[in-house]
Amino acid sequence: MTVGVYEDQFDSRHDFSHNRRATKTLIIASTVRSGSHMLGHALHATGAFGYPLEYAQPKNLSVWKQKLGVNTTPQAMEKLLARRSSENGVFGIKVHYRHLDTLGGLSGLLQCFPDPHFVLLTRDDIMAQAVSLAIARQTGNWISGQNESDVEPEYCFSDIDDSLRRVILANASWQYLLAANGLPTLPLRFSDVKNNTRQTITDIAGFMDVELDESRIPSTPVTKKQSKSLNQSWIARFQKEAGQGDELLRYHTEKLTYRLKRKFR
């Protein structure tokens, strides 16, 4: 077993037994620590959206290629479409923005998946998201249910600062890409998935024109919460340190100005 990999995803019990061809794709356009794992499992419980997992995450994809006996990403996705599409012909996948390179960019993604519908999942509290990311990057514990390490995370201002900028950039990149290409998109918030799971799933079904079995729609998340009191203490400490002077703001302003001058020179 590999630390950092959600091993359960490879279990054949999650394969659908029918031979129906995938005709529609749900793409959860997400960022790290945005609640996409929670949303994917809730959607899976309905039996109407395939099993939306991070199939394009490099470590996951490497294992999938080995298990499926293929060498290329398109070949792997073709076989996954056959295995993991639900009986109504819907395939689901979670794609963090950084996974686009693995798929060959947006054009590669569009070639792999039929009739894609994008759910843009964001988190209102990006400070909490950044701290969660910083902790996960240290421990390697990304989602509930994976093989967890016993690494104890240590507070580091620069780690949280970097994670915060990564989250903001990834969110903005998804928003730009989807808007610039006129792709069908349903915006969703982490808080909606967590606090109003049933309505969120109903909204996604309406967006994709997918019929649901009402009895199979979960009313609450089906995954375990990961955040701890440690997260809140790190947030408080980071915000205190970030607000102690103008040097941090000046540093990032100068850095951003430099990048923009180089880009548009």
- Digit-by-digit pLDDT tens for the chain (265 residues) are 444 568 889 999 999 987 778 999 999 999 988 999 999 999 999 999 999 999 999 999 999 999 999 999 999 999 999 999 999 999 999 999 999 999 999 999 999 999 999 999 999 999 999 999 999 889 877 665 444 557 789 999 999 999 999 999 999 999 999 999 999 999 999 999 999 999 999 999 999 999 999 999 998 887 656 556 899 999 999 999 987 755 566 656 666 666 666 655 5
Taking residue 100's Cβ as centre, other Cβ atoms within 10 Å add up to 19
CA atoms within 13 A on the CB side of 130: 26
Are residues 28 and 36 in contact, defined by beta-carbon separation less than 8 angstroms? yes
Torsion angle (degrees, nearest 10) of CA 48, 32, 261, 258:
170
**Nearest of 258, 124, 98 to residue 192 by alpha carbon:** 124
CA distances to 18, 59, 79 from 75, in Å: 20, 16, 6
- Cross-strand bridge partners of residue 188: 121
Strands 90-96 and 185-189: unpaired
Backbone angles phi, psi at 69, to 5 degrees: 70, 40
Are residues 140 and 4 in contact, defined by beta-carbon separation less than 8 angstroms? yes
Are residues 113 and 208 in contact, defined by beta-carbon separation less than 8 angstroms? no
pTM for this model (two decimals):
0.85
DSSP structure string for 77-96: HHHHHHHH--TTSEEEEEEE
How would you write 230-253 as a 3-class SS string? Answer: HHHHHHHHHHHHHCCCCHHHHHHH
- CATH numbers and ranges of domains, the chain: 7-228 (3.40.50.300)
Are residues 236 and 155 in contact, defined by beta-carbon separation less than 8 angstroms? no
pLDDT confidence of residue 259: 65
Residue 43, classed as helix, strand or coil, is: helix
54 is written with which tokens? 């991070």
Helices and strands (DSSP H and E) totals, the chain? 11, 4
CA atoms within 13 A on the CB side of 195: 6
